[in-house]
A and B are shown apart, each in its own frame.
Chain A
Amino acid sequence: MTKLLILIVVVLGILAVAQLARVYELTSKLRGKREEDISDADNRMNAMLMWLFPVAYFGFFLWLVIAYKDKMLPLAASTQGVETDALLDFNWWILIITFIITNALLFFFAGRYVYSRDRRAHWYPHNNKWELAWTIAPAAVLAVIIIYGLNTWQNITSPASPDALQMELYAKQFDWTARYPGTDGMLGATDYRLINGENPLGIVTANAITKRLAEIEQEQAEARMQLSGVLPDAKRADLEHHMDYLGRIAARIVNLRMVMEEDIRVNGQASTYLHGADDVVTKDFMLPLRKEANILIRSRDIIHSAYIPHLRVQMNAVPGMTTSMKVTPTITTDSMRTHVMNDEKFDFILLCNKICGASHYNMQMPLIVTTALEYDAWIAEANKKPFEAPEVPVEPAAPAATDSSMNSGAGSQPVASLPSAGQ
């Protein structure tokens, strides 16, 4: 019924416009006027609108600035952000002045030089001086913009200092996980084939490899059992296909183990394969104040983007590679709440800013910036629940060891409670 009504309204609307146009056409025909002859009245009306438009245009702009000034991102909460904001403000001055001058000239001339039968346009096909002037002027201004911009870019993207805090953000559809190096201060190696329920980030340890291989073996055994029974052909083909797949994945993991063992033999304690066990995998994203953090970013499935608007930092999470961004927070979450935003519920938010599927619009994780003291307390607590309990030997001696570590199940559970996250 509503559909019908809408349809009727639309049709009637079109008919009304059509009739108006008809009437206009007939009257102008009666007056002997041709369609291409633009009457003086029409020219004057448009010229007037050309003058009125910028008033409305600039007015709208002004209204938006005044009404929404306080709803833009608040002051940047990182040293990098403070620098980009200064650059942005500098650019705004140049752009807004150019915007107003060029638009004012455009609409002023458009309205001012409206057609008159008694006048001829000024013959002025070119003037090299002017053309040179408005090639050089923008070039000079742009040179400043480019140099200032690149200088800032250099500061923001230069490699993080060696003593920066290392941590990792891991993206998947549709959530984030954080990983902190354990007491050894180094993040362990990862491999996506090791990912399972208790190893969501695919951290490589000898133990994780053993468990994953055992898991695959069990899956193969189940599949074999099914295959020995009666099955429809299609299902059988699928299962056989899956068996082959499991075999290849297992072979890759065995290969990974050889690479790992070789690396450990060559590099000893420096090998990244020895640093995964004490990593902290957590849903809490914490950064200490005024400490440079080098955030490594990885993705499990597709491209995501780690975007923290209040800190003015962003970097894509790309499957198959590790990207990074450095950030030095300058305001704690508490200070933001009490001093900047006057909002007890305020949080810095890490959000996904690259289209990634149905729940892209809700892929977020709060970031808590604390004082160094609070951070140290938190990380000490978190370190008590590493990825793998420390008593597990590096070389898995017996399957029994595997079982016991399974039961200890550190894996994916959230770790520790936050000093200031609770509201």
Chain B
Amino acid sequence: MGAHAHTAHAGHAAGHHEHHHHEESFISKWVFSQDHKMIGKQFLVTAIFMAWVAVIMSLIFRLQLAWPGEGFAFTNFFLGDKWAPGGVLDSNMYLALVTIHGTIMVFFVLTGGLSGTFANLLIPLQVGARDMASGFINMLSYWFFFLSSVVMLASLFVEGGPASAGWTVYPPLSALPKAIPGSGAGMTLWLVSMTLFIASSLMGGLNYVVTILNLRTKGMKMTRLPLTIWAIFLTAVLGVLSFPVLLSAALLLLLDRTMGTSFYLSDIHLAGEALENTGGSPILFQHLFWFLGHPEVYIVLLPALGITSEIIATNARKPIFGYRAMIGSILAIAFLSFIVWGHHMFITGMNPFLGSVFVATTLLIAIPSAVKVFNYITTLWRGNIIFTPGMLFSIGLVATFIAGGLTGIILADSALDIAIHDTYFVVAHFHIVMGMSAIFGMFAGIYHWFPKMYGRMMNTKLGYAHFWITFICSFGVFFPMHFIGLAGAPRRYYNYTEFPMFDGVVDLNIVVTIFAIVGALAQVIFTYNFFYSVYRGPKAVQNPWKSNTLEWTTPVEHIHGNWPGPIPVVHRWPYDYSKPGKPEDWVSQITPLDPDEEEH
């Protein structure tokens, strides 16, 4: 399918019109498409499916945590008698669910799903390109992602269960099947799946970087790029620089598991037998893992922040406050994210001096983050706010970013981290700042660009219901976890009944679980709204939100090559909302400057 498909380039701007009507076969249009818009949608639908898998997993273990040892038909329905005899979750399966829930959410939903969808959809449309630099590699990127998802799902069904060592898969636990059954075939498939995922992410990331740098339309200076593109650009740079390190960590782990090497193993006596591995260090894995793992947090978060910047400006009908400061803070966050990984390892026995360096670098990240928050708030100030569902989720993101960001200051402080490391406080922190913020950014993006993706509108009323229930439930779920953590309760415990010291807070687990169930039901509303609107939603107009950016100058019906005529030329930054002296409260980027007009 690759050979004849016409990869569109900015180069044949004019004259493209004549041949975009090439009849594409079903396969090349819907399956092995090289069109960035279709690939973006493929990423999105795959991510929605994966997200449901992860949500159901979380419901199963939330049931166990709220009512430990009780049988649930729901649990038995999904896990069968092997892993949930009588509906009671098995303790190994509990760890497996926690592991795969984390893996899917972090990588498949918030990395593949979020970046994959919006980088693909928005980069060519917002920079003014016919398509990605390489449509073929872009297509491969999706199919590697798809394959990786399939392998991850397949790992759920192997003997011994899927990987169970936590999403961070620290060896030796992840290296030794005798330590936990999930470290058998399940772990091997996990590593295979991640290898495919990393390949996908690298192909995507290189494409994004190259496209943004080389294929911007005339007039689209870097300082005229929408903040979405800036965020996606640095996300891609982070991914390209850090994912290979995870790949090497995974390969070394694979060698330790299969070839008898000792990169991570030393002096282990397990199941009555002394292993022969000596000289390795489990801490090495942690360094390699978190060298990706921390930038990964921003790989997840930056696109969400970019999307939010765009949507808040559009719907506040006001330029984003401090455009250059926003770019600066994205750059600062991206840079700092590479020198903070050690804050995940304060209590591994790392030299305390090294720990103090990581404290300082980590806390510095709070500065650009604070700048972003203040700029969002100032953008709302004296705005003219239209509450689209996308706008609601964007405001929601700012709220979760504040709540989760602030507790990060506590966890970054090594002295404080000692006492709350690996407790529920951490679970609360990263779910709010990274999980909720990023998923809110993703929802915001879906509601906002749905008309661009499918040419139809999603139902607004259902969007409101979805937002408010989700917003309330996300705090209902994660806010009490701070308190559970401050009582000293560790994460990844199958139940807390063995410790009388947690008796005072275990009833909070019931509160959390009830909010989680209601929150999950709200996602049914979203899923229904999404798929119904794809087929039956009211037809969209070209620029429903009266937005300035280039994607809204393309026709509603998707065409290969994006613009029927030549690619428009850009004359101004994307945030001329409510500019004095203009008839409308928006001015598209393609509108030339008036002779005496100053560019913002």
Contact = CB atoms under 8 A, between A and B. Distances in A.
A-B complex is real: yes
Interface of A: 2-3, 6, 13-14, 17-18, 21, 24-25, 29, 34-36, 38, 42-43, 45-47, 49-50, 53, 56-57, 60-61, 64, 68, 70-73, 81, 83-84, 87-88, 91, 95, 98-99, 102-103, 105-107, 109-110, 113-116, 119-127, 130-131, 134-135, 138-139, 142, 145-146, 149-150, 152-154, 156-158, 172-173, 192-193, 195, 202, 245, 248-249, 300-303, 305, 307, 309-310, 312-316, 318-321, 323-324, 345-346, 349, 351-362, 364
Interface in B266-290: 266-270, 274, 276, 278, 280-283
11 contacts: A17-B462, A35-B460, A35-B540, A60-B479, A68-B483, A68-B508, A123-B580, A127-B322, A142-B363, A312-B419, A355-B166
A86 B180 CA distance: 40
A53 B476 CA distance: 12
Contacts of B267: 192, 319-320
Contact of A24 (B418, B459, B495, B508): B459
A150 B360 contact: yes
B165 interface: yes
A89 to B, nearest CB: 10
B36 interface: no
Given A146-B363, A307-B490, A43 B386 contact: yes
Q: Give the 3 A-B residue pairs with the shortest CB-CB distance, closest first.
A: A320-B266, A71-B504, A309-B488
Given A46-B392, A193-B274, A355-B165, A99 B402 contact: yes
A120 B582 CA distance: 11
Given A303-B172, A303-B282, A121 B317 contact: yes
A152 B472 CA distance: 37
B483 A113 contact: no
A131 B563 CA distance: 38
B430 interface: no
B365 to A, nearest CB: 10
Contacts of B382: 113, 121-122, 124
A146 B355 CA distance: 12
A116 B385 CA distance: 8
Contacts of A149: 359, 363, 413-416
A352 B499 CA distance: 12
A152 B356 CA distance: 11
A34 B541 contact: yes
A121 to B, nearest CB: 4
B366 A126 contact: no
Nearest to A94: B409
Given A17-B528, A98-B406, 8 more contacts: A72-B486, A81-B419, A106-B398, A115-B387, A121-B382, A138-B370, A249-B276, A351-B499
Contacts of B486: 72-73
Given A34-B538, A126-B325, A134-B374, A356 B173 contact: yes
Interface string B518-535: 000000110011001000
A201 to B, nearest CB: 10
A122 B282 CA distance: 56
B380 A113 contact: yes
A314 B363 contact: no
Interface in B442-488: 451, 457-462, 464, 468, 471-472, 475-476, 479-480, 482-483, 486-488
B600 A125 contact: yes
A57 B496 CA distance: 27
B384 A152 contact: no
B268 A319 contact: yes
A85 B305 CA distance: 34
A358 B488 contact: no
Interface string B122-159: 00000000000000000000000000000000000000
A149 B464 CA distance: 43
Interface stretch (B45-53, B221-229, B292-300, B346-354): B346-354
Given A139-B367, A319-B172, A345 B73 contact: no
A88 B349 contact: no
B492 to A, nearest CB: 5
B538 A84 contact: no
Nearest to B540: A36
Given A102-B373, A195-B274, A300 B268 contact: yes
Interface stretch (B111-119, B235-243, B248-256, B571-579): B571-579
A105 B376 CA distance: 11
| Most chain B CB inside 10 Å of its own CB: which residue of A56, A109, A122, A145 | A109
B381 interface: yes
Nearest to A357: B180
B384 A116 contact: yes
Given A102-B402, A110-B380, A145 B276 contact: no
A60 B324 CA distance: 37
A7 to B, nearest CB: 9
B348 A318 contact: yes
Nearest to A159: B352
A24 B458 CA distance: 13
B318 A122 contact: yes
B92 interface: yes
A21 B529 contact: yes
A146 B319 CA distance: 34
Contacts, number: 385
B528 A315 contact: no
Contacts of B324: 126
Interface residues of B, number: 136
Nearest to B543: A36
B92 A313 contact: no
Interface in B358-400: 359-360, 363-364, 366-367, 370-371, 373-378, 380-388, 392, 395, 398-399
Nearest to A85: B419
Nearest to A91: B410
Nearest to B480: A64
Contacts of A321: 266, 281, 283, 349
A38 B415 CA distance: 50
Nearest to B346: A153
Nearest to B423: A353
Contacts of B266: 319-321
Given A72-B483, A126-B321, A318-B283, A87 B459 contact: no
B419 A300 contact: no
A314 B382 CA distance: 49
A42 B538 CA distance: 19
B371 A134 contact: yes
Given A6-B74, A64-B479, A361-B495, A300 B281 contact: no
B281 A25 contact: no
A105 B377 contact: yes
A340 to B, nearest CB: 13
B537 interface: yes
Nearest to B165: A355
A87 B409 CA distance: 12
B371 A131 contact: yes
Interface string B50-61: 000000000000
Given A121-B383, A157-B352, A316-B349, A21 B532 contact: yes
A124 B488 contact: no
A302 to B, nearest CB: 4
A56 B472 contact: yes
Contact of A120 (B384, B480, B487, B528): B384
Contacts of B540: 35-36
B559 to A, nearest CB: 22
A13 B95 CA distance: 32
Contacts of A300: 268-270
A71 B509 CA distance: 14
A61 B422 CA distance: 22
Contacts of B31: none
Nearest to A142: B363
Contacts of B460: 35-36, 38, 42
B121 to A, nearest CB: 18
B32 interface: no
A336 to B, nearest CB: 11
A338 to B, nearest CB: 17
